[in-house]
Structure 1
Amino acid sequence: MTDPAAPPSVRPQRRAPARALMQTAEALRLAAAAGFADFAAIHTWRTWLFGWLGRVLCQVAFFALIGRLLDSADSTRYLLVGNAVLIAVMESMFVVASTTWERRTGVLPLLVAAPTDPVLVFCGRSAQWLASGTVSATIALFVMAPVFGVELPMPRALLVVPLIGLVSVSAYCFALVLAGLVLRAMMLRNVVGNIGWLCISLVAGAQVPVQALPDWLRAVGFVSPARHGTAAVRATLDHRPGSEVLRQAGLELLVAAGWLTVAVLTFRRLAEHGRRDGSITFDG
């Protein structure tokens, strides 16, 4: 219990952790609000629904058709589910490009000079891709599954929605690492983002079973975003035990935490170098 008679110099120190937490939440909220404002400038509901979402559905249908060409219902199901989940990864990888906007507009030097940790701004600034990716992937799965005759057990299938969200978060944390690196070579932003997404699609078990990969690729995939989240989605839809779903979801959460830690270190190193040598400019 706080002593009301305590000196003023003592009472603020006791409230410092709570104040710091509130300031962190506020910084993330404001950064996310700026991100969603950018998203609203890019898309109207019409362009998102008939432009972006239409493109997403066509992409999932393309891979599902490969299963049809193989005349295999199992392959169709495998490819449809895996590529629907990968949509969340693809949108999260847009972080690599959108993070460079701060440097192009001249905001990055101000962020580095501000008292607020710039890592918080970078973590919240592209949150719009998390929301859009989760929604896009979920719609792709639930719309295209009936089209290709893939049965989704209801209401159990609804449990995949938070799992897809977890995949988005995991890929987002990985994309932040790439974004921190690309800030020093912005001309590579789209190349790095696309290569990152393609590499994840290769090792995540979305296109081919993990068992078919070489041992070294399996090892890489174990710490890759989406690997365990995709497995959790498949386990949910295949009526496997809840313990298996929770285990895979827990591993995905650990992967996300690991990449987030690396992202924080990457951005802090960038900020420290920028303060020391003045290398943070408009175009890097």
Structure 2
Amino acid sequence: MVRHAFRVGARDYSTIFTWKTWLGAWFVRVLAQVAFFALVGRMLGSAERTQYLLVGNAVLLAGMVGMWAVNMVAWERSTGTLPLLAASPTHPAVVLASRGSYLVADATVSAAGALTVAGLLFGVPLPWARLPLALPVLVLVAGSAFCFATFAGGLLLGFRSAQPIVTNVAVVTLMALCGVDVPVDVYPAPVRWVSSVLPVTHGLRAIRLILGPAPAWEPILVQAAWEALVGAGWLAVCLLSFHAIVRRGRRRGTLDHSS
């Protein structure tokens, strides 16, 4: 089931992008986004700030692409396949996660590519030999955001018109609270607590440590483990919420696309 769902998702993705349109449209777009914030750092006259903004916004791409999973549940409902998923013996969240797992791959490639190209364009002195070590952490960031977005998509089943707005608000929230442009430490304790349970925060810290001048591997592994734990937590909440949503939909008959 997982394999078939992944193949369906990959085929869906291939109808949206070819490698030419991905490079010429999508990658240019995300590269411009990272370059914009790097230019802000350069205008401030600080090489350190330029690197901080460039790395933060490149890693944010992993979370941003993962957040597209918010729309997956709505797509299933609008095409009338959500009731079929609810009637199958496999948990709907497992199928949705497998079908949308291509987003994790896209998020990782987008973030790593933007970090590499923007770093070269702006002459940021990144430790290129250690850059491959950041790839597993980017996968964790994308997966954590994907689990969070799938949970949010389930909650928004009855509010399809609000889903694009919620996706954009969620991405801006990650940008504001997770240390992308502003260090988390400047916020008051309640905001720091919210940041600690959001995707991106711990993964970004780990990547900053990896790309730092003197990486200490124990803190890196701790932050990566926290990112994985955050993703697992959102996955657990997602499974529980989908169980409740499907059970309520079966009882009320509200899972069909016309409801």
**Category of TM-score, reference length = shorter chain:** over 0.9
Q: Which amino acid aligns with 1:89?
A: G
Q: CA deviation at 1:98?
A: 2.6
* Counterpart in the other structure of 2:80: 106
Task: State the distance in 2 between where 1:263 and 1:37 align.
Answer: 25
Query: Does structure 2 conserve the Cα–Cα contact (< 8 Å) formed by 1:186 and 1:283?
Result: no
1:47-196 alignment to 2 at 5 Å? 47-196=21-170
Give a deviation string over 1:127-185, Cα, whole Å, max 9, x none: 12111010000000011101112112132121011111110011111111101111221
1:258 maps onto 2:245 in alignment = no
1:39 aligned partner? 13
2:4 and 2:160 mapped to 1: Cα distance? 25
In structure 2, distance between residues paired with 1:71 and 1:140? 22
Query: CA deviation digits over 1:60-117, x for unaligned, max 9?
Result: 0001000011001111000000000001111111111132110000001111112222
Is it true that 1:243 corresponds to 2:218 in the alignment? yes
Contact 1:68 1:76 in 2 (8 A): yes
Alignment partners' CA distance in 2, 1:249 and 1:135: 18
Aligned amino acid, residue 131 of structure 2: A
Whether the aligned pair in 2 keeps the contact of 1:228 and 1:251 (CA below 8 Å) is yes
> Residues 131 and 211 of structure 2 are in contact (CA less than 8 Å); yes or no, is this contact kept in structure 1?
yes
The CA distance in 2 between the partners of 1:62 and 1:112, in whole Å, is 44
CA distance in 2, matches of 1:165, 1:87: 11
TM-score when scaled to structure 2? Answer: 0.97
Structure-1 separation of matches of 2:194 and 2:233: 14
Q: Provide the C-alpha distance between the structure 2 equivalents of 1:269 and 1:40, rounded to a whole number of angstroms.
A: 33
Letter of the 2:239 counterpart: V
Conserved? CA contact 1:177–1:263, under 8 Å: yes
Aligned: 1:209 with 2:176: no
Structure 1: tracts of 5 or more residues without a match: 1-26
Q: Tell me which of 274, 278, 281 is aligned to 2:249.
A: 274
How far does residue 214 in structure 1 lie from its aligned partner after superposition? 2.0
Secondary structure of 1:99's aligned partner: helix
1:6 aligns with none
Find runs of 4+ consecutive structure 1 residues off by over 3 angstroms. none
What number of residue pairs does the alignment pair up?
Answer: 258
Of 168-177 and 151-160, deviating more is: 151-160
- Separation in 1 of the partners of 2:105 and 2:73? 16
Checking the alignment, whether the CA contact within 8 Å between 1:99 and 1:126 is kept in structure 2 is no
Bigger mean CA deviation after superposition, 123-132 or 227-236:
123-132
Partners of 1:43 and 1:128 in 2: CA distance: 12
Within the candidate set 162, 167, 172, 1:198 is matched to 172
Greater C-alpha radius of gyration: 1
With 152-161 and 224-233 compared, the bigger mean Cα shift is at 152-161
Q: Which residue of 2 aligns with 1:17?
A: none
Q: Which structure 2 residue ranges, 5 or more long, are not aligned?
A: none
After TM superposition, the score normalised by the length of structure 1 is 0.89
Q: Percent identity?
A: 44
The answer to whether 1:224 aligns with 2:198 is yes
Rounded Cα–Cα distance in structure 1 between residues aligned with 2:71 and 2:90: 23
Deviation of 1:210 after TM superposition, in Å, equals 1.0
Q: Distance in 2 between matches of 1:216 and 1:207?
A: 19
- d(CA) in 1 for partners of 2:26 and 2:36? 15
